[in-house]
Amino acid sequence: MATAVAGTLVLSLFLGQRPGHGPEGASTAGCVFKTVYEGEGLDSAFLLKTPAEVLAAEDRAYLWLVRARNNDGGYAAGSHAHQEVMDPHAAPSDPATTAMVGMALLRAGSTPDAGRFAEVLAPATEFLLKAVETSSPDALNITPLTGTQIQVKLGQNIDVALTAQYLSNLLGRTSANDARRARWMTALNSCSDKLQRAQAANGSVQGSGWAGVLQSSFAANALESAQHAGAEVDVKALELARTYQKNNFDANTGTVATDAAAGITLYAVSGSTRSSAKEARQAVEAVDKAKREGRLAQDAPVSPAALQQAGMGRDEAERINTAYQVYNAAKVRAQANEVISGFGNNGGEEYLSFLQTGESLIINKDQSWRNWYGATTARLVNIQNNDGSWNGHHCITSPVFCTATAMLILSVNNDIEALVAQGATKAK
């Protein structure tokens, strides 16, 4: 059985200042990610002040997460064979859960050497780095652990995808002169290589779990984040990963392919939305630019023809238009009442799906994200456990994993600049 860290650390961390929030709720802690729209800035209407009830829920959850840490610096979701066990210290630490907690604490404004969670993030980062560095170069995963809740429900290689995303986020929050970046980038390149070698011919990731579409979606997200961070990512592999997610939703008929989504529409459409968000934004920006330059009529809709007039080749125009159509149809479906009904009796997969939808809206600079944020955070605050955690009621029940994911949702407005920057295109 793993052991908890000393309670004195919890008290010392919470005597520090919480990240500041500007007049529109933007963190004043300072994010190293810089939007490519430096001259233009972000529309103030896109930002959102964090409600007081959300801040209170966050503080309770952060306190719970700090106490849930194991002595090795990692965090545990527990075994699929014992989903009823809610003790966060009753199982060995696993990379997937550690990475999710790490991303939640990064989003809170901390790094491994700055902020109120530095003393938690430093050993968590070391845990993840050692997992990558001690794994066989030929292996597709980075841990000898098998049968974790996250692996069984999402896929055997989910540890790699989430660790890669954590490392990308970490690199985006540290100075270019930081001597540790070389080690972090080497680990990220190793994870990216494993994800690309695990890719099947259709763009999905091998080792699919009960809801394997989510593993593949997070792998696509990880490759996109890794590319943004400067890692070695095969453009064709990323395009294939995105195509797999887009193909799960037919924008013309509204048909959803749920074979790899355990029959759950939400899992499939949230992945489709997330994987098409960046290209959908590219479509709008290309058409808008062509209108400003007089190459398109002001009332011209996004279409393959319009995108070609905007300067794209035929194949690229078809691909980007498909992403635009999928994004706009899938985002509506992902937020429909009949799809999200049951909130309050969810597993970790639902929390992950809601997270993907929210990040998609921000990446796309979609103003509807504000409505999504208000509705989703209100529901999460309402179902928070008395001890500050969240847990799943089926499938992924782990309170550690569910709490970390819930926190990534509640604090997503802290990362607006980073997500908007990730969604920018080279042409811009």
**For the segment 388-397, what is each residue's pLDDT rounded down to a tens digit?**
999 877 778 8
Amino acid at 290: A
- Would you call 208 helix, strand, or coil by DSSP? strand
Q: What pLDDT does 87 receive?
A: 85
Residue 83 DSSP code:
T
- The token pair at 307 is 């995108």
Q: How many CB atoms lie within 10 A of CB 146?
A: 11
Q: What pLDDT does 262 receive?
A: 44
How wide is the angle at C-alpha 277 spanned by C-alphas 275 and 283, nearest 5°? 125
Q: What pLDDT does 28 receive?
A: 35
Q: What pLDDT does 233 receive?
A: 96
Q: What pLDDT does 83 receive?
A: 67
- The token pair at 10 is 């919890």
* Separation of first and last alpha carbons in the chain: 52
Q: What pLDDT does 207 receive?
A: 79
Instruction: Kindly calculate the radius of gyration of the chain based on its CA atoms and give it in whole angstroms.
Output: 20
Beta bridge partners of 155: 208
Domains of the chain by start residue, with CATH: 47-62+88-422 (1.50.10.20)
Residue 218: alpha-carbon gap to chain centroid: 7
Q: How far is residue 107's CA from residue 132's CA, in Å, rounded to a whole number?
A: 22
**For the segment 235-252, what is each residue's pLDDT rounded down to a tens digit?**
999 999 888 887 776 666
Give average pLDDT by consecutive 10-residue segment, the chain, 428 residues. 47 46 37 37 80 96 97 90 77 96 96 95 98 96 94 91 96 92 97 96 82 79 93 94 78 56 58 84 94 95 95 93 86 73 62 87 91 90 94 83 95 91 68
Greatest CA separation for the chain? 67
Q: What pLDDT does 416 receive?
A: 92
Q: What pLDDT does 47 receive?
A: 86
**What is the number of residues in the chain?**
428
Listing DSSP states for 182-207 in one string gives: HHHHHHHHHHHHHHHHTB-TTS-BSS
Q: How far is residue 413's CA from residue 60's CA, in Å, rounded to a whole number?
A: 18
Q: What pLDDT does 261 receive?
A: 43
Within 247-368, residue ranges assigned H as helices are 265-292, 304-309, 314-334, 337-340, 348-363
Q: How far is the CA of 316 from the CAs of 44, 239, 262, 305, in angstroms?
A: 32, 11, 32, 11
